């Protein structure tokens, strides 16, 4: 069983913001798998799919970003997700706009949603897909990540969201995270 968790904020006013790139990537993965977000469970809305006979759940926590770990922990417990079969996708201001970075494990960095997940899971040992939203802006970080995405930024983010969904698709089809990293991290190209 695989669990893919996209991070974001649930209210409609946040849908087109840099901080909701995890939700956007989760939506694109669900489309690729023919799954719909129709089930509310474990403080998340989920889409369920079968991939080569194995269950894949895509989740978008409804706890708001900073409490994302609550949904992740509940889903991991409910579905007995094995180590290595959980992957988180989220925005990262430390990566340039429109770039993608995949890691097998690591710290939460400056991302509060990831800090909460790491704290509640008690480990940093799980894969993650980071979507770059970083750019020079006079705005405070919190104001920027919750601002509306410009058309110029959308043009940079659309291809990286497609790449993120493709990487997640390969992951839930059983590709080892190292193989996914080699294929989708920019140094591999």
19 flagged as catalytic: yes
Helices (H), 1-67: 21-33
Please classify residue 89 by burial: count the beta carbons closer than 10 Å to its beta carbon, then call 0-12 exposed, 13-18 middle and 19+ buried.
buried
Beta bridge partners of 91: 131
Tokens of 9: 């904020």
Q: Which of 19, 48, 111, 173 is catalytic?
A: 19
How would you class 104 by CB atoms within 10 Å of its CB: exposed for 0-12, middle for 13-18, buried for 19 or more?
Answer: middle
Q: How far apart are CA 59 and CA 7, in angstroms?
A: 9
Say how far apart CA 50 and CA 35 lie, in whole Å.
9
Query: How many angstroms from the chain centroid is the CA of residue 74?
Result: 17
Name the H helices within the chain: 21-33, 68-79, 112-121, 141-145, 151-172, 177-184
- Please give the positions annotated as active site: 19
């Amino acid at each position: 069983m695989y669990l893919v968790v996209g991070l974001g904020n649930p209210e409609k006013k946040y849908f087109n913001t840099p901080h909701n790139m995890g939700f956007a990537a989760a939506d694109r993965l669900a489309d690729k798998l023919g799954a719909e977000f129709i089930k509310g469970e474990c403080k998340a809305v989920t889409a369920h799919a079968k991939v080569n006979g194995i269950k894949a759940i895509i989740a978008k926590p409804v706890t708001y970003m900073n409490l994302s770990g609550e949904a992740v922990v509940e889903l991991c417990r409910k579905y007995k997700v094995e180590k290595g079969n959980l992957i988180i996708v989220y925005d990262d201001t430390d990566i340039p706009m429109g770039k993608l970075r995949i890691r097998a494990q690591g710290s939460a960095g400056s991302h509060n949603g990831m800090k909460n997940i790491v704290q509640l899971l008690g480990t940093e040992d799980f894969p993650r897909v980071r979507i770059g939203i970083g750019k020079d802006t006079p705005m405070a970080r919190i104001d920027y990540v919750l601002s509306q995405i410009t058309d110029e930024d959308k043009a940079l983010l659309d291809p990286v969201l497609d790449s993120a969904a493709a990487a997640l698709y390969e992951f839930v089809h059983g590709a080892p995270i190292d193989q996914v990293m080699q294929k989708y991290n920019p140094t591999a190209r």
